[in-house]
Structure 1
């Protein structure tokens, strides 16, 4: 006769609540929970068609992009990062009076929630991805103060706020919200991505702005100050 604990776990599994990490390592969790929507290895297909059809952002360089603590917490309680989804054009619709675009939230798929053990295992596995791809230069961010002009660089001078929000609702919807960038993203990744987004994906729509290193450092320093949990 099976013990009550085994029966209880079986019931949880039937309800989709059992933590698969009890029996699986981080790589298994990624395959079971993430691989159907996210690229976990660098895709051989670098075409625009692949970018258009993907269901979620690429994760093959997650280890040089995200902070592990943020990953583990977010996987347990996913919040909106991309208001328009990974492919904004698929979710956009014109307003009735044709004066503004809105997001058709019915076309967006909620992210799966992982249990505590699965989130820790998945975060550990994700942090191993990308270190061998030479996408990010260690020490690229010089740890300087962003300075008083940094916020203006983001909001007005460099056009960042036309696609990205530094606080939920105050900017564009086509790019990821950045209200928690300081918690979510590694500074060296931010420097690399601002300098050359097409290095990460040749067809990504974020432009290469050709900024001076001083401006890149200021923008990165400013983004590191953004840790507004309400803006995630």
Structure 2
């Protein structure tokens, strides 16, 4: 076997060996557990809720889309403009409260193999499976204008959530990438009863009709097809 062939074989095999050596769950424990709860349960007091540094991950496998996780972990961007609890990250400005950027830390970046391993590990964390009906979401379409009307005028969600960079509330996570990052069946379950997932969360239960739950997910998917400059 000549040297060229040995080199080619090594080039193919070594990445596989390196990938096998990356322990995603160990990385979660060492690099993520200080800010994210990997075991649960969700906070049951307001004090615990306010102290939460990052989203709970013990049901990540029911919540996130795996491919999005892998990409985001390599190039993270802020999803919650004012952090987990906005009260911890605002200051007085000339025209009212503004986000205090000095209190918000950048998320750690992972390499490609680490991101792949961590994404795989996260998808095994599936608390809350009893709250999800697999296949409940039925793909469909809604116009952006009608979706925005529902989101803003009819339900008042724009007060807390951005539907594009710089347009909407800042106290909750933006929703213009929801269609890329969150599983549709989870979205329906969460919107149906946010407190079933997170007992002390501020998001109100809007008591949405089943058809409106479907329409909101249609809207999020439509929003996710738009391109916005500061997603990266």
Provide the TM-score with structure 2 as the length reference.
0.85
Out of 57, 62, 68, which is 1:64 matched to? Answer: 62
The number of residue pairs the alignment matches comes to 211
1:157 aligns with 2:164: no
Q: Look up the SS of the partner of 2:61 in the other structure.
A: helix
Partner Cα distance (1:36, 1:135) in 2 = 27
* Bigger proportion of residues as helix: 2
Out of 85, 89, 92, which is 2:87 matched to? Answer: 89
Answer yes or no: is the 8 Å Cα contact 1:29–1:122 preserved in 2: yes
> Superposed, which structure 2 residues align to 1:1-232 within 5 Å?
23-43=21-41, 46-96=44-94, 99-130=95-126, 133-146=129-142, 149-227=146-224, 228-232=227-231
Q: List alignment gaps of at least 5 residues for structure 2.
A: 1-17
Partner Cα distance (1:140, 1:190) in 2 = 10
Q: Which runs of 4+ in 1 moved over 6 A?
A: none
Partner Cα distance (2:36, 2:19) in 1 = 19
Answer yes or no: is the 8 Å Cα contact 1:91–1:105 preserved in 2: yes
RMSD of aligned alpha carbons? 1.9
Q: Look up the SS of the partner of 1:225 in the other structure.
A: helix
